[in-house]
Amino acid sequence: MIFGHDFYHGTLRRYIIMFGNIFNELQVERYDSSGNVIQKVNVPIEYGPKQKFIRRVTTDPQIGREQFSTQLPRLGFEMTSISYAPARKLNTGFKLKKNLDPDSVNFSSTYVPVPYDMSFSLSVLVRNAEDGTQIVEKILPFFTPDFTVTMKALPSMSLNLDVPIELVTISSEDTYEGDFDSRRVISWNLDFVVKGYLFGPITANKYIANTTINFKNDSNSVTEPALVASSVITSNSDFGFTIVTS
């Protein structure tokens, strides 16, 4: 337990899944000499560094579990670093609140999230140049230079966030080495920054449902004090007050 709180929201895991889902279900089309589509190849995506996939391609395809041979083209991605983003910092004293039951005075709250920039690397691995340019061309037009995704950031409080994903750099590399029998792998490397937030612990609280206030002046008169009772309307209203004076 750190700083007196034990919590885990799984937010970083959701950022990783969100990033991978953006590039899921890509396809590469193969054409004949007349320009007709003769084949559509699904491009699988997996979390991990590109060096791992390149090694699988260049070694014996029978090596590994279930005689696994890496399919190309394929995508690999990983989170490479996390850094604090002070330019997006919000007022630390502000709180986010959520009343899960409109007829109850109970609610959950947490302080505003802390901004962090998460760097991701996406690797496009192909055997021929045409596949690589086709995949990259299907990705780049959506990043100008960022692409915004709505994510369920804190499901326990039904909180969604719009998360900008910025494309930073693009580079390509031909990893062909060795003799003519060696397998050739061309890789495109795309670096992104996910501008996200991380949340602290969630606490349980209660609204002030009723208040009683005694009013009287400061003179020496014997005026009786006025008793005012305010009752909060249910949270599914406009949060007005019903005031009863006696």
Name residue 61's amino acid: P
Q: Which residue has the tokens 């109970």?
A: 106
- pLDDT tens digits, one per residue of 87-135: 999 888 888 777 766 666 677 788 889 999 999 999 999 988 899 999 9
Asked if 78 and 122 count as a contact pair (C-beta separation under 8 A), the reply is: no
pLDDT of residue 88: 93
Q: Is 131 exposed, middle or buried (0-12, 13-18, 19+ CB in 10 A)?
A: buried
Strand partners, 192: 120, 167
Question: How much is the pTM?
Answer: 0.74
Helix (H, G, I), strand (E, B) or coil at 54: helix
- pLDDT tens digits, one per residue of 41-56: 999 998 987 666 666 6
**pLDDT (average), residues 222-233:** 55
Does pLDDT of 64 surpass 60? no
Q: For strand 26-31 and strand 37-43, is the pairing parallel, antiparallel, or unpaired?
A: antiparallel
Nearest to 15 by CA among 75, 73, 80, 74: 80
Nearest to 84 by CA among 113, 54, 115, 52: 115
Domain ranges of the chain: 11-205, 208-245
Does pLDDT of 233 surpass 70? no
**pLDDT (average), residues 191-201:** 94
Does pLDDT of 37 surpass 90? no
Does pLDDT of 148 surpass 90? yes
pLDDT of residue 117: 98
The pLDDT > 70 percentage for the chain reads 67
Asked if 192 and 19 count as a contact pair (C-beta separation under 8 A), the reply is: yes
Q: Is 73 exposed, middle or buried (0-12, 13-18, 19+ CB in 10 A)?
A: buried
Average per-residue pLDDT in the chain? 79
The yes or no reply on domain 11-205 and CATH 3.30.70.1290 is no
Asked if 96 and 112 count as a contact pair (C-beta separation under 8 A), the reply is: yes
Name residue 76's amino acid: G
pLDDT of residue 66: 41
Q: Contacts for 220-223 with beta carbons within 8 Å, 24 or more apart?
A: none
